[in-house]
Each structure stands twice: as C-alpha cells, then as structure tokens.
C-alpha cells in the first residue's frame, strides 16, 4: 500500500525525502504519477484538484500539509468515510506566535511609522500606544491562539479570547458564542483572527465587526483571506474607524500586483509566511499517522468533519 503526496505547486520531493528519512521503506507516490489508484491508502494533500481524491478506492486518510483543512473540505467531491487530519506542530505554533507578537509590538512601538519618517528624513518621537489602549482580542483559541495569548500576556498585554465553545485559559479573559461576540469586540483594540475557515466564520471580519471595535483599532489576519471582507476593511481604514491592518493571508494568493492592499500606507502585507510548515518538523507525525491507519487505528489530530476543524 502507498502514500500519495498531492501538493501541486509545492516541493513534493522535499517531503518525500523527509518522510523516507524516517521510514526508508515507505512506498511514496507523487501526484500525478500515482501508479495503480487502488494502492493508495493515505494522501498527504495541499490544494489538491477537486474530485481527484475520489479516484482512490482504498483511501483511508487525507492528511493536510498545514494546520488548516479548508482546502480539503471545500472539495465538493471528497470521498466519504475517510479520516481528515491536520498538522499540530510546536514549530508552526511558535512561528505563528512569533509573527503575532512581532506585529503587536510593532503597532505599540510604531515601527512602521518610524520607517516612513526615516524615508522622509524626519526625526520625530511618536507616543508609545498605552497598554490600556492595546487590549488584544484573539478570535480562535486553538493551539496557536492559546500560545499567542500566553506570549502576549508575558509582555503585559491584557488578552481577551473568543471561541465557539467556552474555554478556560490562565490569565486570559475568554468569551464564547455569538451572544458574547460584541462584548469581546468592544474590548479589543488589536483584533487578531486565528479562526478556522468554515461557513460560519467566512467573512467574519466585516463592517459590523469593525463597527463594534474601539475607535482606531488595528486588525491582524493570519487565518484565511476569506475571513476578511476586503472592501469593508478599506472603508473602515478610510473613515478612521480602524488605524490599520497587518495581513498575511488573502482571497487570492499571490495578491494581485494591482490590489489596493499592496500600496496602502496603513496595511502591512506579508506573503502567507506567518507559519511555515517545515518538513523536518512535521514528517514524523505524517509517518506516525500513516502507520496508525495501516494498522487500523485512528490517526492523530483528526478533524471533526461536521465542525470543519
């Protein structure tokens, strides 16, 4: 039985090398050179072509190459009765938290403003944004949300968290469900989106959300581009409701060259690099899950298909 790597546009050979470094006997196929479809039991996937995974009658598990699984679940022809798993990796969690802390500190200490002033040869002190005007609101309290929240409390930020179901996290004030969403927003000067993309969270960064934030709030999106209604963000910055945004994910990636975010003075754009899945760090859990599935055991880090994460 074989493991299929189906990650168009990504370096599949690098993954193959890492997986075989752990188990040299693995029979790995790289899409589209799949060999006999009935031999494929496990697919390691990122942005696979819709409908493709139905072609493997013995497929038991689809493992996402990343923490998100929306790219798998959006396939309307996904085979039934297969496990779907995601990556849970300390290195990925750490790199996401690092990006978030960096962005929050950048905002508090005005580094982007200084860069602009430097270019204009200006020497002018900017007031540091007071902690009382820097409450952090984290949407999504999974592994990454919890880790980022902890790091931010270590810098003395007051952190609020919002999730679908109640969560208790030391030093974080948590809210949950639709009924507590507004109350969460009212307190969040810096709003960070770490939600999984599901039909319930798509477009959640919209005008009504922005309207309920304090004046001059700042938005950080490191989840998915589809969480954000782009026009609403531009408008909220235009009216001064928001002071700016830092975006790592976009509806269309790469972000088109003429997109208004590209040159916007109040929007920082990074090319989906907040968290990088490193093959050396993640290959072990993929091989472990492949072995489990072959032995008829449930894999680790399974996704609840009803919930979508």
Verify cis geometry, omega within 30 degrees of 0, for the bond prior to 32. yes
Verify cis geometry, omega within 30 degrees of 0, for the bond prior to 254. yes
CB of 242: closest distance to ligand OXD in angstroms? 23
Per the annotation, the verdict on 48 as an active-site residue is no
Residue 108: φ, ψ to 5° = -65, -40
Q: Are 229 and 205 in contact (CB under 8 A)?
A: yes
Site residue total, ligand OXD (CB under 6 A): 5
* CB nearer to ligand OXD: pick between 137 and 275: 275
8-state DSSP, 197: P
Residue whose entry in the numeric block shows the structure tokens 């009212």: 186
Q: Are 161 and 169 in contact (CB under 8 A)?
A: yes
CB of 308: closest distance to ligand OXD in angstroms? 13
Residue 72 touches ligand OXD, criterion: CB under 6 A: no
Residue 244 touches ligand OXD, criterion: CB under 6 A: no
Near ligand OXD by CB under 6 A, which window of 65-73, 74-82, 145-153, 167-175?
Answer: 65-73
CB closest to ligand OXD, residue no: 66
* CB nearer to ligand OXD: pick between 136 and 223: 223
Question: CA 119, 120, 125, 127 torsion: positive or negative?
Answer: negative
Q: Which of 137, 140, 145, 275 binds ligand OXD (CB under 6 A)?
A: 275
Residue 140 touches ligand OXD, criterion: CB under 6 A: no
Near ligand OXD by CB under 6 A, which window of 64-72, 124-132, 228-236, 258-266?
Answer: 64-72
8-state DSSP, 170: T
In the sheet with 2-6, reading across from the earlier edge strand, the strands are 28-30, 2-6, 40-45, 61-64, 83-85
* CB nearer to ligand OXD: pick between 59 and 67: 67
CB of 71: closest distance to ligand OXD in angstroms? 8
* CB nearer to ligand OXD: pick between 68 and 161: 68
Q: Which of 66, 137, 145, 244 binds ligand OXD (CB under 6 A)?
A: 66
Which residues, 6 or more positions from 20, have their beta carbon under 8 angstroms from its beta carbon? 26, 28
Q: Which of 12, 43, 67, 197 binds ligand OXD (CB under 6 A)?
A: 67
Per the annotation, the verdict on 272 as an active-site residue is yes
Residue 277 touches ligand OXD, criterion: CB under 6 A: yes
Around Cβ 51, how many Cβ atoms within 10 Å?
12
Exposed (0-12), middle (13-18) or buried (19+): which is 87, by Cβ within 10 Å?
buried
Residue 68 touches ligand OXD, criterion: CB under 6 A: yes
Instruction: Give the C-alpha separation, 259 to 267, whole Å.
Output: 12
Near ligand OXD by CB under 6 A, which window of 60-68, 75-83, 183-191, 253-261?
Answer: 60-68
H/E element, 237: helix 230-238
Interaction site with ligand OXD (CB under 6 A) = 66-68, 275, 277
Residues with catalytic roles:
224, 272
């Amino acid at each position: 039985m074989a493991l299929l790597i189906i990650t168009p546009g990504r370096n599949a050979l690098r993954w193959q090398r890492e997986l075989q470094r752990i188990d040299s006997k693995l029979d790995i196929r790289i899409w589209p050179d799949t060999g006999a479809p009935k031999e494929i039991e496990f697919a390691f996937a990122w942005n696979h072509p819709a409908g493709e995974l139905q072609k493997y009658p013995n497929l038991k598990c689809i493992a996402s190459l990343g923490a998100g699984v929306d790219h798998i679940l959006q396939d309307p022809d996904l085979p039934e009765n297969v496990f779907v798993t995601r990556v849970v990796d300390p290195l990925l969690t750490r790199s996401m938290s690092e990006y978030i802390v960096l962005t929050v500190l950048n905002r508090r200490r005005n580094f982007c403003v200084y860069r602009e002033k430097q270019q204009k040869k200006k020497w002018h002190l900017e007031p540091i944004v007071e902690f009382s005007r820097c409450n952090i609101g984290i949407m999504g309290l999974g592994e990454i949300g919890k880790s980022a929240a902890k790091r931010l409390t270590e810098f003395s930020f007051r952190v609020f968290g919002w999730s679908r179901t109640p969560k208790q996290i030391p030093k974080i004030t948590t809210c949950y469900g639709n009924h507590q969403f507004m109350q969460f927003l009212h307190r969040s000067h810096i709003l960070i989106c770490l939600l999984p993309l599901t039909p319930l969270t798509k477009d959640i960064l919209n005008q009504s959300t922005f309207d309920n934030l304090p004046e001059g709030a700042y938005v950080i999106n490191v989840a998915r581009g589809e969480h954000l209604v782009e026009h609403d963000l531009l408008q909220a910055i235009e009216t001064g409701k928001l002071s700016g945004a830092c975006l790592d994910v976009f509806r269309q990636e790469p972000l088109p060259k003429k997109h208004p975010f590209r040159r916007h003075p109040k929007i920082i754009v990074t090319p989906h690099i907040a968290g990088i899945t490193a093959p050396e760090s993640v290959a072990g859990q993929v091989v472990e899950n492949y072995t489990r599935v072959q032995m008829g055991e449930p894999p680790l880090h399974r996704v609840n298909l009803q919930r979508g994460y």
